[in-house]
Structure 1
Amino acid sequence: MKKLFPLLFLMLITFSSGAQSLNVDPHYQFIQSANFVQSKNYYLLTLFEQDKAVSAILKKDEVLLKLAQQKLQDLNSSLAECKDALCLIQKAKFSDTEIATVSARLRALYQPGSALDLLTKTQLIPSGTYILNKGADAADLLVKAWEQDAAGINYTIGVYAEGKKPNYPLIDSISFNTKHKRYYTLMYDCAATLAGDVKNTQLFFEPAMQAALLYLQINERTDAANYEPMALTVNKAAADRVKLINWSKYPYSNILVPGAGGEDYTSPLSAEGMLRCRLAAQKYQSGAAPFIMVSGGKVHPYKVKFCEAEEMKRYLMNTLHIPESAIIMDPHARHTTTNLRNCVRLIYRYGIPYNKPGLIITDKSQTDAIMVMAARCEKELKCVPYKLGKRNAETEVEYYPAIEALQINPYEPLDP
């Protein structure tokens, strides 16, 4: 199995949110495919693909191999049989029957001591990426993770090929007019390309997964891969400095600045974004925390090319003279809910103390919204990835990390 770094020892951890202790490894290093969009959205399937022993089991199983062959046959036959775009697209998706068939086979193939057992206990559980299923036993967790990945693939195909409405249509919708007569040609070309890409696969999930990734690519929606691997690129200076910090000197672990989207396509950073950065810089200069976290992706307006976090980092460095080693970027968040979730993930992955509060600094209206945001998080993320502390001022509120932040969201493929 190929890793970026060796897997370090497992340890029990408990976040300050009161979540139960779980076998999640703070030092876990992700197994990567060649595609960060794939790895971040469909992590179980990436493990299936990269783990040689598990991959061999899946390829040899008669039922799963037959499913792989059927998916390839359906894909190829669609090129001759389908006369409209929707027909071509639906051939790539998983049916409810196919999902249930795979679930049953995974349960049957899962045996104590098997390669699937080892993968679940040394990769899936330590990663924390399916942590909302923490009450399940290992076999159930494996099945639930599969069903989540399958649902995520179908959702992506539904939005970025069929043209269904995403959760936030104004910023995340499909790039094409699905009613135009040329759309059939585009979808035909996608199907033909996909057929060539996966023609030799024996893994049952590859045709559907690669279809989802292809549709994201042609929509220019590969945002999940932007700036990755961040600890080795845009966040390297700060990530390297984490281990040198004397945390007892600071009341907060970080100052979180949520992004503020622009009003046009020509302004790199909105006025509100500048003001939030200035407030954060003041707090940083007072010694409140060793790091400023800037959070926000390429969000507003629709398909804008400027990244909120990158532009805030540039402003902090060039205008406010904050050193790069004190700035951590989250360039993926698209909502206030994921501003907090993503920064909790970075706290956890970069080794920042998770029993120490962070400080959110933003404008009064967003602070007001954050104070009552838990219900929105439950609706959109199926969890609350933080716990709020004191509100120190109209523009400041404390927060604590919650381990549930590690959960992949299958219904936000641009920032899962």
Structure 2
Amino acid sequence: MLGCKKEGSSVGTPAIVDTTSKNESAYFNPAQPLIIHNPVQDKNFYFLSILQQNQNLLAALKQDTELKNIYTNLIQRLDKVTADPTSNVSEMVGAAHFTVKEQQDIHTAFDRLVKSNVLSTNLIQELKASGCYLRFEDFNDVVFIRSVWKNVSTGLDQILSVYGEGAPPHDPDSDSVSYTLNDPFYINQVRQTITTITNSDETLFFEPVLQLCLQLLDINNRDEAGRFEPLSQGENVRALSNLSNINWDNYSHSLILVLGDSPNSFGDAIHLSESAKKRLVTAADSYQTGVAPLLLISGANVYPFQTPFHEAIEMKKYLLANFNIPEEAVLVDPHARHTTTNFRNTS
């Protein structure tokens, strides 16, 4: 897959993405990568990270009567269900969902904080500039925050449902819970986790649910979103540092996208498939004939279930070991699990 250059720009975009046909974001600048401190949380729930970091807003959230009541009721539910030795995982985790009434109260509280400028215009612009909520950036401030909270809340509910209540994930082959819900070990882990959370010093209304979700991901080894981060300071640092040295006018394309492939056929090594090797041969040939100055290998850990090997990382190792290609010419995306995501992340 070849990335084509935009007219008048040294930055390439994937050939299938027509960025010139859309209005560009008024806030988000892709040339300024988002700085993240807790990769799994920040990449999934950036809004909540911002709420935790803003001291003025932090105080307002803690003092809001409705939000304090939601927190108190949530802790009481969790304490009650974990104190019952017969409670199963589904019952314990199910108690962490916000009720319909609580969701309504949360929306009301956020509306109030926006209108009073406690949840300020500057902070909302910061959220828009993050690029995490591009779908909502044209909404007015009240609707924007409502939409962002709904996005976050849906994500929290999804984690609780999949890893605590047995709901099917979007991709059962690669995202399923790692234990059976009636596994005594898992039951004990969840009970201990919730008990620790309810006895912690965190008092924001969403923090018990957020921490439970993050712990459920951790227990199930579903921290993939945070692995290898920050890429710009690790796997991709040499290629990114060399971008300014590239004479883009010498190339017809800006990069070559190499799609990952997991071991899934007889004869495949445990960490690298034969198909992946063939793709690298083709990509290396294109690079060496001067088609593009960069290769971007995109692929996460997909198959077999819970494999520790990420397609992009293993393919990069093979490429550097077997072809005369410098690391400065190789970018990786070790988080994409589907072809559509390969293209989106590359873009």
Mark yes or no: TM-score above 0.5.
yes
Alignment of 1:142-221 (within 5 A): 142-180=145-183, 183-196=186-199, 199-221=200-222
CA distance in 2, matches of 1:112, 1:291: 49
Deviations 1:124-164 (A, max 9, x none): 11112111123311221111111110110110111112121
Alignment-derived partner of residue 22 in structure 1: 25
Aligned residues: 327
One-letter identity of the residue aligned with 1:217: D
User: Are 2:56 and 2:118, in contact at CA under 8 Å, matched by a contact in 1?
Assistant: no
Alignment-derived partner of residue 337 in structure 2: 334
User: Are 1:28 and 1:127, in contact at CA under 8 Å, matched by a contact in 2?
Assistant: no
Q: Give, in angstroms, the shift of residue 263 of structure 1.
A: 2.3
User: Are 2:283 and 2:295, in contact at CA under 8 Å, matched by a contact in 1?
Assistant: yes
User: Are 2:94 and 2:164, in contact at CA under 8 Å, matched by a contact in 1?
Assistant: no
One-letter identity of the residue aligned with 1:76: D
Q: Give, in angstroms, the shift of residue 170 of structure 1.
A: 1.5
CA distance in 1, matches of 2:171, 2:196: 29
One-letter identity of the residue aligned with 2:208: P
Alignment-derived partner of residue 404 in structure 1: none
Distance 1:132 1:103, change over 3 A: same
One-letter identity of the residue aligned with 2:256: I
Q: Give, in angstroms, the shift of residue 29 of structure 1.
A: 4.5
Query: Which secondary structure state, in structure 2, belongs to the residue aligned with residue 161 of structure 1?
Result: helix
2:46 paired with 1:43: yes
CA distance in 1, matches of 2:141, 2:24: 16
Q: Alignment partner for residue 289 of structure 1, among 265, 273, 292?
A: 292
Deviations 1:366-385 (A, max 9, x none): xxxxxxxxxxxxxxxxxxxx
One-letter identity of the residue aligned with 1:96: V
One-letter identity of the residue aligned with 2:101: T
CA distance in 2, matches of 1:257, 1:161: 36
Distance 1:160 1:99, change over 3 A: same
User: Are 1:257 and 1:280, in contact at CA under 8 Å, matched by a contact in 2?
Assistant: yes
2:123 paired with 1:119: yes
Distance 1:136 1:82, change over 3 A: farther
2:99 paired with 1:98: no
CA distance in 2, matches of 1:244, 1:98: 54
Distance 1:105 1:82, change over 3 A: farther
Distance 1:240 1:36, change over 3 A: same
Alignment of 1:4-403 (within 5 A): 16-23=19-26, 24-33=28-37, 35-81=38-84, 83-85=86-88, 86-111=90-115, 114-121=118-125, 123-180=126-183, 183-196=186-199, 199-263=200-264, 267-344=270-347
User: Are 1:31 and 1:50, in contact at CA under 8 Å, matched by a contact in 2?
Assistant: no
CA distance in 2, matches of 1:263, 1:127: 37
Deviations 1:230-281 (A, max 9, x none): 1001100011112222222221111000101102795221000001011111
Query: Which secondary structure state, in structure 1, belongs to the residue aligned with residue 235 of structure 2?
Result: coil
Query: Which secondary structure state, in structure 2, belongs to the residue aligned with residue 129 of structure 1?
Result: coil
Provide the identity percentage.
32
Distance 1:27 1:58, change over 3 A: farther
One-letter identity of the residue aligned with 2:244: K
Distance 1:96 1:30, change over 3 A: farther
Q: Give, in angstroms, the shift of residue 61 of structure 1.
A: 1.4
CA distance in 2, matches of 1:182, 1:282: 51
**Structure 1 unaligned regions, length at least 5:** 1-14, 345-416
Q: Give, in angstroms, the shift of residue 222 of structure 1.
A: 0.2
Distance 1:116 1:78, change over 3 A: farther
Distance 1:160 1:284, change over 3 A: same
User: How big is the alpha-carbon RMSD for the aligned residues of Structure 1 and Structure 2?
Assistant: 2.0
TM-score of the superposed pair, with normalisation by structure 2: 0.88
Distance 1:115 1:243, change over 3 A: farther
User: Are 2:297 and 2:333, in contact at CA under 8 Å, matched by a contact in 1?
Assistant: yes
TM-score of the superposed pair, with normalisation by structure 1: 0.74
Deviations 1:179-227 (A, max 9, x none): 345543333223223324xx22221110001110000000011000110
Q: Give, in angstroms, the shift of residue 99 of structure 1.
A: 2.1
Distance 1:118 1:131, change over 3 A: same
**Structure 2 unaligned regions, length at least 5:** 1-17
Alignment-derived partner of residue 408 in structure 1: none
Alignment-derived partner of residue 376 in structure 1: none
Distance 1:82 1:340, change over 3 A: farther
Distance 1:274 1:287, change over 3 A: same
CA distance in 1, matches of 2:20, 2:204: 39
Distance 1:144 1:237, change over 3 A: same
CA distance in 2, matches of 1:103, 1:246: 51
CA distance in 2, matches of 1:159, 1:26: 32
Q: Give, in angstroms, the shift of residue 69 of structure 1.
A: 2.3
CA distance in 1, matches of 2:283, 2:202: 51
Distance 1:316 1:266, change over 3 A: closer
One-letter identity of the residue aligned with 2:196: T
